[in-house]
Amino acid sequence: MSDILLDVVHVGKRYTTYASNLQRFANWFGAGIKPSAEFWAVSDISFQVRRGESIALIGQNGAGKSSLLKLITGTVRPSTGSVAVAGSVSAILELGLGFNPEFTGRENAFHAGGLMGISQAELATLMPQIESFAEIGAFFDQPFRVYSSGMQARLAFALATARRPDLLIVDEVLSVGDSYFQHKSFDRIRQFREQGTSIVIVSHAMGDVRALADRVILLDKGKVLKDGAPDEVVDFYNALVAAKENADLTVEQRRDQQGWLHTKSGNTGATIRDANLVDAVSGEIVGAAVVGQRLKIRIEAAANSAVPRLVLGVLIRDRTGHVVWGANTHYSEQIELELAAGEKVDYEVEFVCSLGPGSYGIACALTDGPDHLNVNYEWQDNLIVFDVINVGRFGFVGTTALEHSFTVRRAIA
């Protein structure tokens, strides 16, 4: 059996516009009339997904993510190329897709489940599980048209995951649900992944992408812009979002010997000249911090041209890329105004190392406001990398060293 579960080969989807419906109708019978306009939703996309592999498709609105999912599931036929799937597929795409608004949730589960290839006998056996997982109560036997978007997402996900498929495809439909059901759904996705199901997910939530995906494919204007490791592609995407607002922005990436990815972007109007993590008392540079130690991030920034507003932002991420903490001088109301070319600004960020044992990266950004989307002078991911060790404290797990205490009382029953 081949290790390749999904094989997408030079796939493209073209939508055409004709001067009239009559011309379109005539073309169905080979009239050879050229369209007045055409649009390629996706163009010449190729990639493979191996068994047990999880990939995420990311990109801005209109990049072609949902169109590509429809091509993979067979909802839409490709204009060019081919899609081959060697196994069973379950997909959660647009809300309400495949559901009849007049049918009840139970009736829709039987109807849509049948379209998925599940027999009515098996659906009858699965129905208590579907009803229990959806948790919509009496609405399960009410018309689908009265469902909220969150209830629609619950029913769709419960049905699509009633059986573990070889390939599970999830669009951003889960983002409409409440936080409880999102956690419940992603827990099931993780279980499927551990059991060998391949996952293709579309999401704007980069934390979910980092947590679930082995690979990330970045789409832009219907084409693959980047395909690689989650940290590399997500960091590149974050820089790309700013680049669309800053025509003179450059993006550089490199991976060091320890595996940390360093992404640098910006228009260089202001740059970081020096950055260090030091002990707050001695001032010595710290490579390995101790839980509870007082630390300072020291940063020297310089204006290379006239800078009307300068804001420093700092993010601390764990090794998996999840943000542990972040803040900037916009929110602390410490914005530097009207810097002339050649002026320098020294920053110090003092904090207590309330982090769990592990490795962490510090990202620093020079912008003109609360984020980097308007003006990005310089953004450096993992500019400083350091370890945290636990010395002299009771053991604990996690990325946060919460101040805590146990109260234990013993008595005769």
The verdict on domain 250-389 having CATH code 2.70.50.60 is: yes
Q: What is the pLDDT of residue 171?
A: 84
pLDDT of residue 367: 94
Query: According to the model, what pLDDT value does residue 210 have?
Result: 86
- pLDDT at site 248: 62
Close Cβ partners of 382 (under 8 Å, ≥ 6 residues apart): 260, 261, 262, 263, 317, 361, 362, 363
Three-state secondary structure string covering the chain: CCCEEEEEEEEEEEEEECCCHHHHHHHHCCCCCCCCEEEEEEEEEEEEEECCCEEEEECCCCCCHHHHHHHHHCCCCCCEEEEEECCCEEEECCCCCCCCCCCEHHHHHHHHHHHCCCCHHHHHHHHHHHHHHHCCHHHHHCEHHHCCHHHHHHHHHHHHCCCCCCEEEECHHHHHCCHHHHHHHHHHHHHHHHCCCEEEEECCCHHHHHHHCCEEEEEECCEEEEEECHHHHHHHHHHHHHHCCCCCCEEEEEECCCCCEEEEEECCCEEEEEEEEEECCCCCECCEEECCCEEEEEEEEEECCCEEEEEEEEEEEECCCCEEEEEECCCCCCCEEEECCCCEEEEEEEEECCECCEEEEEEEEEECCCCCCCCEEEEEEEEEEEEEECCCCCCCCCCECCCCCCCCCCCCC
Cα-Cα-Cα-Cα dihedral of 137, 140, 145, 146, to 10°?
-20
Q: Which amino acid is at 31?
A: A
The CATH number assigned to the domain with range 4-231 reads 3.40.50.300
pLDDT score, position 174: 64
**Tokens 């903490």 label which residue?**
325
Tell me the average confidence (pLDDT) per consecutive run of 10 residues in the chain, 413 residues long.
Answer: 88 85 74 79 94 93 90 90 91 77 93 88 94 92 91 90 91 72 86 92 85 92 92 87 65 86 91 96 95 96 96 93 92 95 96 94 93 86 94 87 90 85
Going by their DSSP bridges, the two strands 198-202 and 80-85 should be labelled as unpaired
Question: What pLDDT does 166 receive?
Answer: 93
- Sort strands 358-367 and 307-318 into parallel, antiparallel or unpaired: antiparallel
Cα–Cα distance, 140 to 142 (Å, whole number): 6
Of the candidates 326, 328, 309, the one whose C-alpha atom is nearest the C-alpha of residue 317 is 326
Q: In the prediction, which pLDDT does 269 show?
A: 93
Count of C-beta atoms within a 10 Å radius of residue 173: 22
Q: Are strands 376-389 and 344-352 parallel, antiparallel or unpaired?
A: unpaired
**Token code pair at residue 401:** 């060293």
Please give the Cα distance from 300 to 276 (Å, whole number). 9
The 10 Å Cβ neighbour count of residue 233 is: 25
Size of the chain, expressed as the number of residues it contains: 413
Instruction: Kindly list the domain boundaries of the chain, sorted by start residue.
Output: 4-231, 250-389
Note the pLDDT of residue 219.
94
Retrieve residue 123's tokens. 């659906």
Q: How far apart are CA 68 and CA 70, in angstroms?
A: 5
Query: Distance between CA 370 and CA 17 in Å, rounded?
Result: 42
Handedness of CA 285, 286, 290, 294 (dihedral sign): positive
